[in-house]
Chain A
Amino acid sequence: MKWLALLGMSALIIASFQVPPALGFPEPELARIIFFHLPCAFSTVVFVLFAAYSSYRYLATREWIWEFRALAATEISLGTAVATMLSGILFSKVQWGAWWHWDPRQTSFLIVLILLGAYFAVRMSFEEEVSRARAAAVYSSLTLVPVLFLFFVFPRLPQVLKNSLHPSTTVQSGGFSQDYWTVVLGVFIMLLGTCIWIYKLHVRTSLLEQVLKDQDGQLETSGNRPTAYRVDRGVSLREPD
């Protein structure tokens, strides 16, 4: 399966250089960055929404598996968001002449990146596992409102769209050929598959860590008694003679 994925990804990379250059861009040859930029952005949306859903499920059921799923999904979305940002910055430089333009979509994605970063700041601030999981789940589900706004509403506001350099209008007005879309979709499917594979490994690792922790706790106790009982002795304090 992994070999098949590797072959598929290699074929898509070759295909991305075979399709004719996209019209409507100042540097049509370099617009191929979109083949990797767009799938990363789509994957970020998928995993951010799934992380919020998993967090909600954790709060509703208090089952650890949902906490592990939320953490894995957020970590992957952070990775894909960074990849989106880096490829976007590169695109901005080659097409618009500057690394950063305060384009509405660039800016809204930066804020999503900050929201994802803040999730880990919340996690790091709690040492106790249950409090950490609870706070992280609440924060992750809270981010759903700004994330939906930043992904789907803000870049489409008429006054924002008017000032945007982003090629979303080129995309929506049919500036891409069918070949372009086929490669974008192919890369998206491959990337999503890879991310799901990493996600599953991450969740399985977290579950194994949990099992190990539980077993470790049992080894330190005799029978059903917690460890603390074994060192709990009466102490008499006497004044030295």
Chain B
Amino acid sequence: MKSPWAREIGAMVRKEFRTELRSKSASYTAFMLSAITVFTLAFAFYGRELPPDAASGMLWAALLFAGVGTLTRAFVAEEEQGTGDLLRMWAHPHAVYWGKALFAFLQMSATAGLVTLLFFMLAGVGVSNYAMLGLALLGGSAALAGMVTLVSALVSRGSNRGTLAGVVALPLLVPLVALGVTAGRSAITGLAQPAGWASCGGVWCYTLLVLAMAPYQLAAVWGEP
């Protein structure tokens, strides 16, 4: 941490950690939301075998709801608590974005790991290609964190923030989910491996695009009072 920019990001991540440690509400809610989705989906197949083709879609649905349901609080909470202006004065918008997105990524990765374990335990489905599934989930968590953090900034000063965040974020994440589901399906069933790897690459391309665009978009929508 030599440059002030890196120091600002580090301080943002620390701030997010401390805030989260005080209440633990976001992590707890994210996990509970995902777990409930997984339980509900598993219950839908009670007494029947879950088709491996459908497993990937269900896993991504659970992760999507967990991400959109909890990560949208990132900037909304700042505006509600009145700390948004302080952040604007104290740090560069890019640093604020990277700090919040990094924390969201760590939180989302942990949630994705736990939910995936829980999902495969309950669904009773095996995985053929762990590397492909892991890479797709890691890239997906990064893209979810990056996009939802930006959406949170976008809606933070609007009305009906909770509903609006879902309306805005879900369609923007459709390409990611489509690619993730295809990669996950190949990883679980072991079929169409080249298409699976191509989709996995697509997930990472989407992630890079989001992370390249988002800091500039955040500066435009949130950086000015």
Contact = CB atoms under 8 A, between A and B. Distances in A.
B174 A146 contact: yes
Contacts of A153: 175
A145 B168 contact: no
Interface of A is mostly: helix
Q: Of residues B157, B209, B221, which shows the largest number of chain A Cβ atoms within 10 Å of its Cβ? A: B221
Contact of B154 (A115, A135, A149, A159): A135
Interface in A77-125: 111, 114-115, 118, 121-122, 125
B221 to A, nearest CB: 4
A131 B225 CA distance: 9
A74 to B, nearest CB: 14
B135 to A, nearest CB: 19
A139 interface: yes
B156 to A, nearest CB: 10
Contacts of A143: 171-172
B158 A115 contact: no
A149 B175 contact: yes
B178 interface: yes
Interface size of A as a range: 20 to 34
B11 interface: no
Classify the secondary structure of B's interface with A.
helix
B77 interface: no
B171 A115 contact: yes
B114 interface: no
B164 A122 contact: yes
A137 B220 contact: yes
B172 A125 contact: no
Given A59-B220, A145-B206, A145-B210, A135 B172 contact: no
B3 interface: no
A138 B150 CA distance: 10
A150 interface: yes
A63 to B, nearest CB: 14
Contact of A114 (B161, B171, B192): B171
Given A118-B167, A142-B172, A146-B172, A134 B209 contact: no
Contacts of A135: 154-155, 157-158, 221
Contacts of B172: 115, 142-143, 145-146
B145 to A, nearest CB: 15
A115 B210 CA distance: 16
Interface residues of B, number: 27
Contact of B168 (A121, A134, A141): A121
Interface in B98-132: none
Contacts of A111: 171, 174
Contacts of B167: 118, 121
A125 B154 CA distance: 11
A126 interface: yes
B21 interface: no
Given A135-B221, A137-B220, A154 B154 contact: no
A125 B158 contact: yes
Interface in A141-179: 141-143, 145-146, 149-150, 153-154, 157-159
Nearest to B196: A159
- Among B161, B164, B220, max chain A CB count under 10 A is at B220
Given A150-B175, A158-B195, A131 B157 contact: yes
B178 A154 contact: yes
Given A118-B167, A145-B172, 19 more contacts: A59-B217, A122-B158, A122-B168, A125-B164, A126-B158, A127-B159, A138-B217, A138-B221, A139-B154, A139-B168, A141-B213, A142-B150, A143-B172, A145-B206, A146-B171, A146-B174, A149-B206, A153-B175, A159-B182
Interface of B: 150, 154-155, 157-161, 164, 167-168, 171-172, 174-175, 178, 182, 192, 195, 206, 209-210, 213, 217, 220-221, 224
Interface of A: 59, 111, 114-115, 118, 121-122, 125-127, 131, 134-135, 137-139, 141-143, 145-146, 149-150, 153-154, 157-159
17 contacts: A59-B220, A111-B174, A114-B171, A122-B154, A125-B160, A131-B157, A138-B221, A141-B213, A141-B217, A142-B217, A143-B172, A145-B209, A146-B172, A149-B175, A150-B174, A154-B178, A157-B195
